[in-house]
Structure 1
Amino acid sequence: MSDAPKPRRLTPKGRATRDRIVEAATALIAQRGVAGVGVEDVRAAAGVSGSQLYHYFDSKQALIRAVITRQADSVLHPDEPRIAVLDSFDALRAWADAAIERQQENDGRGGCDLGSLAGELSASDEESRGDLADGFMRWKDLILNGLAAMRDRGELRPEADLDELAFALLAAFQGGKVLAQTVRDVQPMVAAMNATLAHIRSFAT
């Protein structure tokens, strides 16, 4: 687990300013990648002064870690494909379809998701790697909780290895996105998600 610093208590105005900075950084990284974005770029895009930016983030790494946290939380936002309610076969299918549709809307391109950030940061920034690992494990646990609810209702056989199935679905989702972004075609993501959902359904009672 990473040892990320706890955020300071902020006023509503301070929270809005901090959020604006993180949103600007997220948008720029989606366009240029982490290496292509500097603190001054973020300051200008967010429309804040240098002193304001450094009040909330004392380094680029601190800002990047805030972006990672934001993106790890994105699956809980109402306008994103939801991963928090995967407690039925219909919910699993709906989430997969929504994730695929979102990738199609991006024309198969990348962005500022955990997978893209991991590709840039995991080998060079141990603190960020830890934050990314935490985010992925949170997603995996949300999938696992949904599968456990299905097993408890008798929809999945008791012998199903829920931990393995949760990792498989997360890997299909994230690996499928990376391939789709690379070849500019959503078909690898469709194939990975469909195959994994079919495997999960094979454990239906």
Structure 2
Amino acid sequence: MTDTTARIPKLTRKGQATRDRILQAAVELIAERGVVGTSTEDVRKAARVSGSQIYHYFDSKQALIRAVITRQADAEPVPGRPMMGALDCFDALRAWADAAIQRQEENGCRGECSLGSLAGELGAADEDSRQDLSNGFLRWQGLLEQSLRAMRDRGDLRPDADLGELSLALLTALQGGTLLTQTMRDIRPLRAALNAALSYIHSFAADQR
């Protein structure tokens, strides 16, 4: 989780619902138009709130975008495939990768408001956004590493498996493969990247010796 959450004041249930509606509108518009093509006014209209309401929760577009980054960082790398305790075997890793591929196929290999797409637009924009994005990716890597550690502790992976490197390889395959797939409108880059990452993890299977 990024540090922006700690600065959100305590809200009433109604206030939280309004804030969530604004964030959801921003997520949907960014998925369609990108960050540059989405204005605060666009979000206000889509969320059906007043100008005073949107600026009550987000005092600038940058604050709104950072909140979107926090929200997407707290989501799972592949929606619908929970990470915690779910990827602790080779079959589960394969199903998780297949779900990522299927999601892109269903989306026509088009962009989404994901942490990866936000990084593509904002990674070099300002230091605060870059740090938020970095923290989000580190969270995702940590979840992957936790799953791989469960496999190693159970004896599925060799004791010498470098879990940090393996989790980073898997995350990089997901993000890099998704970027190329969305750019080329072709599922093959994502499939190839994830297959290569899974093969690398399999090379550390305990029974490979």
Considering the TM-score relative to the shorter chain, is it more than 0.5? Answer: yes
Q: CA deviation at 1:82?
A: 2.7
C-alpha contact (below 8 Å) 1:87/1:147 kept by paired residues? yes
Task: Please give the per-residue CA displacement for 1:112-131, whole angstroms capped at 9, x wherever unaligned.
Answer: 11111111111112111111
**Over residues 49-87 of structure 1, what are the superposed CA-to-partner deviations in whole Å (9 max), with x where a residue is unaligned?**
01111111111011001111111122189x533333211
Aligned to 1:74, the other structure's residue is in SS state coil
Please name the residue that 2:80 is paired with.
80
Counterpart in the other structure of 1:110: 111
Match of 1:59 in 2: 60
Q: Unmatched 5+ residue regions in structure 1?
A: none
8 A Cα contact 1:2 1:127, kept in partner: no
Report the Cα offset of residue 111 of structure 1.
1.2
C-alpha separation in 2, matches of 1:115 and 1:150:
27
CA shift, 1:134, in A, is: 0.5
**5+ unaligned residues in a row in structure 2: which ranges?**
none
Query: Does 2:132 match 1:131?
Result: yes
Partners of 2:156 and 2:99 in 1: how far apart? 23
Letter in 1 for 2:181: A
Superposed CA deviations along residues 103-149 of structure 1, whole A, max 9, x for unmatched, are 11110111111111111111112111111000000000000000001
Alignment of 1:22-33 (within 5 A): 22-33=23-34
Residues 107 and 76 of structure 1: CA distance in aligned 2, closer, same or farther (over 3 Å): closer
Q: Distance in 2 between matches of 1:105 and 1:70?
A: 23
Q: Does the CA contact (< 8 Å) of 2:156 and 2:205 recur in 1?
A: yes
- Equivalent AA in structure 1 for residue 30 of structure 2: I
Runs of 4+ displaced beyond 6 Å: none
Aligned to 1:179: 180
| 1: CA distance, partners of 2:200 / 2:13 | 47
> How big is the shift at 1:39?
0.6
- The amino acid that maps onto 1:181 is Q
Q: Give the CA RMSD over aligned residues.
A: 1.6
User: How many residues are paired up?
Assistant: 204
Distance in 1 (CA, whole Å) between partners of 2:134 and 2:27 is: 18
Following TM superposition, by how much is the alpha carbon of 1:42 offset from its aligned partner in structure 2, in angstroms?
A: 0.4
Distance 1:104-1:29 versus aligned 2 partners, 3 A rule = same
Q: How far apart, in 1, do the equivalents of 2:131 and 2:13 lie?
A: 29
**1:3, distance to aligned residue in structure 2 (A):** 4.7
So what's the TM-score if we normalise by structure 2?
Answer: 0.93
Code of the residue aligned with 1:184 in structure 2: it is R
Q: Give the 3-state SS of the residue equivalent to 1:111 in structure 2.
A: coil
Identity %: 64
CA distance, structure 2, for counterparts of residue 54 and residue 44 of structure 1: 13
